[in-house]
Amino acid sequence: MQDVIKLLPDHVANQIAAGEVVQRPASVVKELLENAIDAGATEIKLIVKDAGKTLVQVIDNGKGMSMMDARMAFERHATSKIQSADDLFNLHTKGFRGEALASIAAIAHVVLKSKQPDTDLGTEIHIQGSKVSSQEPAVMQHGTTISVSNLFYNVPARRKFLKSDNVELRNITDEFHRVALAHPNITMHFVHNSNDLFNLPSGNKRQRIVNIMGSKTNEKLIAVEEETEIVTISGFIGKPEFARKTKGLQFLFVNDRFIRHNYLHHAITAAFEGLLKDGANPSYFLYLKVPSDSVDINIHPTKTEVKFDDEHSLYAIIRASVKHALGQFQVSAIDFERDTEYEVPYDVARTAPVNTPKIEVDRNFNPFKNERVGSGDAGFDDRPATPREPKSITSFQSFKKDPAPWEALYAATDESATIVESSDEQASLFDEGQEKKGNIFQLQRKFIISTLQSGLLVVYQSRAHERVLFEYLLQQFRSQNSVSQQLLFPIKLNRSKNEVAILAQLRSDLEQMGFLFKKLDDNIIEIEGLPLELKENHVESVLDAVIAGQEVEVPEENTFSRKRHLAEIMSRHMRIKSGESMKMEEMEHLINKLFCCEEPGLTPDGKKTFVKITGENLNSKFN
């Protein structure tokens, strides 16, 4: 029988490896930036065209490569980072597998220029699909410039599954943020389609966070510092009052490498227990330093998932450190309503002398001394008691001297008791949170109950309002004539450049729905008009939801689907919430609007908005 197992050619093996290492243009950005950092660069420039589909270029001023090293760097498993298997457990560099450049060169056109500081000429090498087309000397400054163009040109199936430019650019920006935050001492510059997105000077961790996330971020940060034998923790956490429903501002680094770790993430969120609103996520920028032999970063091709030797101890230390930082800045669950005007400063309280409190008692005080009932005494004898004669209570007959006041008192009491008793009986007919309004009433501040000729109509108020808002927003799109409520004072929000860029891309759609933006640039969002149905205190949550909702890919050419998706997100976060009380007029208006909708029975995501209970249904309950 003929043999069927054969060795794969190198270019095929490289393409298979590329499927693990290079998933999208952001993967190329990550590998090239990490190589520049390993080369000792102090300045790195990232240039991207068409969200990385046309070009990804990284320029650094690192130590460069010789002519032979430049050629060997594109061979599989060629690396200068490790010499033996034991080195895998003592890593101090970003890349070490020797697969990144070989995988990238297998599926793209690559041009590498590199020069060492002590040489007169550098080298320039051109590679297409793992094949070296040319290599020759080049005149350049010391460092390395690597350009990756036409990504996935020979793997059309992979290129077809790339997302839109907006989504791919957002992923590239996320990778840039992770590398930039991990290395604040490196000057970094990011250019997309000739537009400067980020120009980050070298500095400390706080400065780098503020430069990326916006100047207003500085006031939201609480420093975290802890040093133990197991781990050294530094960085910042966000104050609880600034927590948002999106999870974009959560960064955890181990030995200057961004990681994802659900167990340690839970340790951080557990420290915020009782401080956050429902659904809010804390922000954090935490840097962990652990011995290199206590962490395994070789368990995943992207090296973002790691394994620690003692995760339970790390969990306890991180949770305690975050709690301690919150406590130092007087952030606790019972402190939000506290008036600090009368608090004694810690230094004064520590140095001030301690005085023993004195208690003074009036031993001659008698609350019954001057009390009289009618023309009689208070009912107690004021004579001092003898050991054998306790204070005597006045005889019952003394209360009968003038019974008129007592009878009037009892008469008034009986009348008021009757009123209270009647009121209690009336209130017991309805549960708390149930408000009766004629033939329409609210149940548990969640459902609207209305009578029908055939029975009862039960409307889920938040879902019904979502359906009404959804069709209203779609109508705004169709009419091309948006209606806005003008604000007396514009709303100013501070967001990261990435989030502002997302809103800028959606600006025309949002303005059709009723938003009016005065400024949408850098880190500033200034709004001077809102959709009619949107309350001012819901603006931030709605915009956060819109930004987070862009993670769901909708083809750009399908304009209706894109607008429908946006309307669905906004209606879900603008709707009346369960637990809100409604007046009878509001309930009647909502029901009328619901049954004017094209699809009144379902929310945009297919959930029921109302049910009908007929007389037959009720009769069956009593059988």
Q: What φ, ψ does residue 175 adopt, rounded to 5°?
A: -65, -40
Q: What is the pLDDT of residue 15?
A: 60
Q: In this predicted model, what pLDDT tens digit does every residue of 598-617 receive, in sequence order? A: 999 999 988 999 998 888 88
Lowest-pLDDT choice from 291-305, 524-538, 592-606: 291-305
Q: What is the pLDDT of residue 60?
A: 94
Q: Compute the distance between CA of residue 50 and CA of residue 169 in angstroms, rounded to an integer.
A: 8
User: Which of 69-78, 171-180, 576-585 is modeled with the greatest confidence?
Assistant: 171-180
pTM of the predicted model as reported, rounded to 2 decimal places:
0.69
**HEC-encoded secondary structure of 358-403:** CCCCCCCCCCCCCCCCCCCCCCECCCCCECCECCCECCHHHHHCCC
C-alpha 133, offset from chain centre:
47
Average pLDDT over residues 104-116: 92
Task: Considering only residues 167 and 200, tell me which one the structure prediction assigns the higher pLDDT.
Answer: 200
Please answer whether residues 210 and 217 qualify as being in contact, where contact means their C-beta atoms are separated by less than 8 angstroms.
yes
Identify the residue whose tokens are 């996320």.
Answer: 174
Average pLDDT over residues 150-177: 87
Q: What is the pLDDT of residue 81?
A: 60
Q: What is the pLDDT of residue 299?
A: 58
Domains plus CATH for the chain?
Answer: 10-83+95-200 (3.30.565.10), 218-328 (3.30.230.10), 447-612 (3.30.1370.100)
Counting residues of the chain whose pLDDT is more than 90, the rounded percentage is: 31
C-alpha 214, offset from chain centre:
16
Lowest-pLDDT choice from 277-291, 556-570, 609-623: 556-570
Average pLDDT over residues 234-249: 85
- Helices assigned H by DSSP within 258-310: 262-271
Q: Compute the distance between CA of residue 276 and CA of residue 333 in angstroms, rounded to an integer.
A: 9
Average pLDDT over residues 54-75: 90
Mean pLDDT of the chain: 79
Q: Compute the distance between CA of residue 492 and CA of residue 610 in angstroms, rounded to an integer.
A: 38
Closest CA to 200 of 496, 505, 521: 496
Q: Compute the distance between CA of residue 192 and CA of residue 534 in angstroms, rounded to an integer.
A: 34
Q: Assign 507 a pLDDT band (cuts: 50, 70, 90).
A: confident
The answer to whether residue 302 scores a pLDDT higher than 90 is: no
Closest CA to 55 of 135, 167, 168: 168
Q: In this predicted model, what pLDDT tens digit does every residue of 308-349 receive, in sequence order? A: 888 899 999 999 999 999 888 764 444 444 455 555 554 555
Which residues have CB under 8 Å from 227's CB, separation 6+?
233
Q: Compute the distance between CA of residue 266 and CA of residue 271 in angstroms, rounded to an integer.
A: 9
Q: What is the pLDDT of residue 425?
A: 41
The answer to whether residue 200 scores a pLDDT higher than 90 is: yes
Q: Assign 354 a pLDDT band (cuts: 50, 70, 90).
A: low
Which residues have CB under 8 Å from 120's CB, separation 6+?
none
Q: What is the pLDDT of residue 389?
A: 46
User: Which of 173-177, 361-365, 399-403 is modeled with the greatest confidence?
Assistant: 173-177
Helix (H) or strand (E) holding 406: helix 404-427
Q: Which two tokens stand for residue 278?
A: 């429902």
Average pLDDT over residues 94-117: 83
Burial class (CB in 10 A: 0-12, 13-18, 19+), 567: buried
Q: Assign 552 a pLDDT band (cuts: 50, 70, 90).
A: low
